[in-house]
Amino acid sequence: MSGIVGIAKPQKTTKVKQMLKAIAYRGSSTKIMQTPLATLGITYSDDKSIKAKETSSSNVNPVGKIAGRFVQERENKVIIKRDPLGVAPLYYGWTEDGLLCFASEVKGLLELTQDVHELPPGHTFDGQHLKAYYRLQKLPEIKQEPERIAIELHGVLDSVIKKHATLGVVGAWLSGGLDSSVMATLGSQHAHSFHTFAAGMPGSPDLKYARMVADHIKAAHHEVVVKIDDLLKVLPDVIYHLESFDAWLVRSSMMNFLVARLAAQYVTSVFSGEGGDELFGGYRYLKSLDPSHLADELIDITSRLHNTALQRVDRCASAYGTDAYVAFLEPDVVDFALRIPTRYKLRNGVEKWILRQAMTGELPDVILNRPKAKFWQGAGVQDLLARHAEEQISDADFSSERHLPNGWVLNSKEELLYYRIFNERFGQIDDLSWMGRTKGTPVN
């Protein structure tokens, strides 16, 4: 995925080059730009199909259009902007001489400063004022029968997926769960050539179901079978790219990182099923909620994706310079999903009921009816990393090291293992307020 770094002052090329070097892997090419008020560094893909996409609706060159997504200049001010749901990351801080600087990843800022702040989704910042321009909220419910809603949902999804699937050689990260299978199935119907990619431990359910979907849609299927040594080998790189030691996030990213590496050998872009569980009610705990609270809960967990699950998608794809399309979180899909009555999302104990109805007849029944599994469970990781941490860290060390300088308390030896690696890669960073933690994880 593309990336940006910048300093809110012209003629800061040397420092911007230094920042850009830290995230250059996010694309195959880099470029420095001077504007009247800033120096920008862009990393991007120079693949012809990506260029075609970037310029298809505008005369602006691809690099300029990427810059325009993140930076605007008005009233003699540099204004940085993050997309409504935080699919693309953006952080900011100040240099030693008081200049606003910003970057797609924290490591870009750390080249100049440890004063790091995350720009929230749906916000702009001009160096003084943080302003919200978008927030998720309840919308009026669709007054139609569920059968009609399912047909319209299928049409909205198909339309947004088609936009991306028709350009270049594309694929999908495929776990064989409902969400990734929706992406793969609809994407394959529009692509000239379509690839699917799966990862898992030997005999894991994800490998089995992914093959089933790939065979069903006649995709070119690729898989990587992983052992615990493979996970431990890439663990430091995963933490480096994630810029996080959150145990749930790291664990869920391990297979994703490996499948992203595999995908980069064949395609320049992939579909990810992220966001389906949050918009359509895919988590089992939702069944225990008062139905009147379900809509608020879905909005809350969707709003939290930006520095947890979406960070996983962004960093795994970007580590290998590929684009990840999160079609469930495209504006048209989000707006439609927020209008679907929650009684059709969780119905008769079935999670994502309306999405399953929308895909009836397009997926094998076993996939349509497959229950939700956590990413690492479906891939077969389960508690392997936790057991490894238990072997590496003594009770005494855990007791003495689990309290962090910022007041956070690490919840497990697994999280301490990740924190140690994080410190090895980034050094001691006392202010971690920019880092997301999975909902339900205590922070003090």
Query: Using N-to-C axis directions, what is the helix angle for 146-165 and 331-339, rounded to 10°?
Result: 170
Q: Per residue in 229-251, pLDDT tens?
A: 999 999 999 999 999 999 989 99
pLDDT above 70 coverage of the chain, percent? 93
pLDDT on residue 45? 83
Q: Per residue in 414-430, pLDDT tens?
A: 999 999 999 999 999 98
Distances (CA, A) of 262 to 172, 317, 383, 399: 11, 11, 24, 39
pLDDT on residue 57? 44
CATH number of 146-378: 3.40.50.620
pLDDT on residue 374? 57
* 141 or 51, which is more confident: 141
In the chain, domain spans:
3-132, 146-378, 384-426
Q: Per residue in 98-115, pLDDT tens?
A: 999 999 999 999 999 999
Tell me the one-letter amino acid at 151: I
Q: Give start and end residues of each alpha helix (H) in 218-246.
A: 228-242
* Residue linked to tokens 């497959």: 370
Report the largest interatomic distance among the alpha carbons of the chain, rounded to a whole angstrom.
62
Query: Average pLDDT, stretch 56-70?
Result: 71
pLDDT on residue 55? 45
**pTM metric for this prediction:** 0.93
pLDDT of 54 above 70: no
pLDDT on residue 62? 64
pLDDT band at 377 (very low <50, low <70, confident <90, very high): low
pLDDT on residue 169? 83
SS (H, E, C) 345-370: CCECCECCHHHHHHCECCECHHHHCC
Query: Average pLDDT, stretch 184-190?
Result: 97
3.40.50.970, 3.40.630.30, 3.60.20.10, 3.30.70.20: which CATH number matches 3-132?
3.60.20.10
Distance CA 235, CA 253 (A): 9
Lowest mean pLDDT across 188-202, 237-251, 382-396: 382-396
